[in-house]
Amino acid sequence: MRKNHLLALLILIPAATALFKPKTPNQDTIFESLDILAEIMTTVQENTPQKVNSQELVEGAIGGLLEQLDPHSNYYNEDRFQTMKEDQKGSFYGVGIIVGFQNEQLTVISPLEGAPASTAGIRAGDVISKIDQVITKELDFQDAIRLLRGENGSKVEVTVLRQGINEPISFDIRRAEIPSENVRASFLLDEKTGYIALRDFGEHASAEVGEAIQTLQARGMSQLILDLRGNPGGLLPQAIQVSSLFIPGHKLVVSTKGRLQNSSQEYFSEKSSPVNQMPLTILIDRGSASASEIVAGAIQDHDRGLIVGINSWGKGLVQSVFPLSKGSKGLALTTSRYYTPSGRNIQGNYESLEAYYNPGSSEDLYFKPPEKEVIFKKTRHGRDVMEVRGITPDVYIDYLKIPEPVQELEFKHSAFFNFAAAHQEDFGKVDLDFQVDSRVMTSFMAFLESREIDTVPLAEHTELLKLKIKYQYLYIENPKWSWEYLMKNDHQVEAAMELFDKAAELLQVYNGSSEIRSGYSQELKHYALLKKDPASTASLQPK
């Protein structure tokens, strides 16, 4: 069974609490089963033709046990438990590089400015062949990350392969504290529209969002887009705190129900918010899960803002993290389901893991809901919301489809990254004003031809090619610049901006200044339908 470690909604259980283990009614049966497991392990170790690793056997048995429960209960060995805790804390000790697999090799995507790796001379495009003496092609992504991290001030040797240099280059790098920001980016899209992208719900998520809002308000922001696309979740208390920024006043944010009495709880917003209230739109997609869905569900059920995008993932389970082995390891165990303020549980059916991990389009569900098969709930002010897998947006706006020839360049050939990495300094200063002119395009086409990539099908996609080339150059130089550039050219962001009149109207309803108009929801669906069909001659502005 494939486990997804990212889609988490976590409650951290203190070690002292986890150590208190009252005797369960079936404890004798548990001990009998453990005796059988120990007997099997002993038999395996004594009789298999090859030598076996007892620790791997134990972890495999634990994995098999948890597979009987649900897709989100997970065991964390010592290394991965440490990584999980670091990810939640907001900082870690490492070298300061964004890495990923390009051309099936562990590759530096972008060194963080001022971090140890950048200072040492590591560049975007460098292929990491070894970390200390460990060959990276034998590692998965998480293991590579763990090796790059370590104690503050400790050294790590990173060996890279660099284009144009025949011999490997080794760097001795001293680890330092690297901030792990929850807010990916925040900026003004225009003189009054603020944009904040929240990466995940770590320990400082609400503080970072609140600070970003106050900074943007000081610069003139009077309406906000909160982007939760691709946000896989995090800590339950942070989901409540982020929601409290927008729906203060001790309002219900989420409730949980479990088998044990202490797992059934109601969670309410703070009495006040440190930020001024304004029209709000929230962007979601299939990568929005768990804590993201709690925030989106609370905002939607209280009629506080508009939800725009496509259906979210659909994870309505809560994991409690129990420390094991004196706190060195951990168990993330599903202990309850959660429900939005209107009473929706949005957990997807996981009887078929293939269907669960590969959900189909929810477009038909939005435009043509099967009334007999779907349960409808009511928001605080009477709007209908569906209890289905995930949060269904108020306005369904899908991603624009990327033409197949461009998809092949990006995902099959990694052409945009490879080109930018190989020509980082060929076209002058790179910043938000960088232009992909004819000289850059001529060089790019020559680069493709040198790799025997057919350029003929690309002729009609020049503007899209320019966008992706500029994005990649900006990402190498400064990931936040690339995100700002991308969002100012984003189809769903554009729709969110066009819908602010509707978001402002909803804010008046939330404040009690007016009531929901009878045709309000139909107008939102009409707008979504027009956006779905760009060939329509009707105005795309909401009526």
Q: Which residues, including other chains, have CB under 8 Å from residue 401's CB and lie 6 or more apart?
A: none
**Rounded to an integer, what distance in angstroms lies between the CA atom of residue 311 and that of residue 307?**
10
For residue 543, what pLDDT is reported?
A: 42
Helix (H, G, I), strand (E, B) or coil at 46: helix
For residue 3, what pLDDT is reported?
A: 47
Which residues are designated catalytic?
A: 290, 301, 315
Give the per-residue SS3 of 219-284.
CCCCEEEEECCCCCCEEHHHHHHHHHHHCCCCCEEEEEECCCHHHCEEEECCCCCCCCCCCEEEEE
**Rounded to an integer, what distance in angstroms lies between the CA atom of residue 330 and that of residue 537?**
57
CB-CB contact of 242 with 295 (8 Å): yes
Report the half-sphere exposure of 505 (CA within 13 A, side-chain side): 15
Positive or negative, the CA dihedral 327, 332, 335, 336 is positive
Token readout for 332 is 């993330």
For residue 85, what pLDDT is reported?
A: 82
Q: Which residues, including other chains, have CB under 8 Å from residue 257's CB and lie 6 or more apart?
A: 263, 264, 336, 337, 338, 339
For residue 540, what pLDDT is reported?
A: 40
Separation in Å, CA 168 to CA 5, 158, 244, 385: 34, 10, 52, 58
**Rounded to an integer, what distance in angstroms lies between the CA atom of residue 280 and that of residue 282?**
7
pTM of the model: 0.87
Q: What are phi and psi of 100, to 5 degrees?
A: -165, 175
**Rounded to an integer, what distance in angstroms lies between the CA atom of residue 207 and that of residue 210?**
5
CB-CB contact of 312 with 286 (8 Å): yes
Q: Where are the alpha helices (DSSP H) in 434-499?
A: 438-450, 462-477, 479-487, 491-498
Sequence letter at residue 26: N
Q: Which residues, including other chains, have CB under 8 Å from residue 417's CB and lie 6 or more apart?
A: 102, 107, 109, 125, 472
CB burial class (10 A; 0-12, 13-18, 19+) of residue 133? exposed
DSSP, residue by residue, 341-401: TTS---PPP-SSHHHHHS----HHHHHS--TTT-EEEE-TTS-EEEESSSPPPSEE-PPPP
For residue 82, what pLDDT is reported?
A: 85
Q: From first to last of the 543 residues of the chain, give the pLDDT tens digit.
A: 344 444 556 666 665 554 445 555 567 777 787 888 889 888 988 899 998 888 888 888 888 989 999 999 999 988 888 888 877 777 789 999 999 888 789 999 989 888 999 999 999 999 999 999 999 988 888 889 999 999 999 999 999 999 888 899 999 999 999 888 899 999 999 999 999 999 999 999 999 999 999 999 999 999 999 999 999 999 999 999 999 999 999 999 999 999 887 888 999 999 999 999 999 999 999 999 999 999 999 999 999 999 999 999 999 999 888 999 888 999 999 999 999 999 999 999 998 888 888 888 899 999 987 767 789 999 999 999 999 999 999 999 999 999 999 999 999 999 999 999 999 889 999 999 999 999 999 999 999 999 999 999 999 999 999 999 999 999 999 999 999 999 999 999 999 999 999 999 999 999 999 999 999 999 999 999 999 875 544 444 444
Closest by Cα among 467, 458, 402, 391 to 436: 467
Torsion of CA 529, 343, 276, 89, to 10 degrees: -100
CB-CB contact of 194 with 224 (8 Å): yes
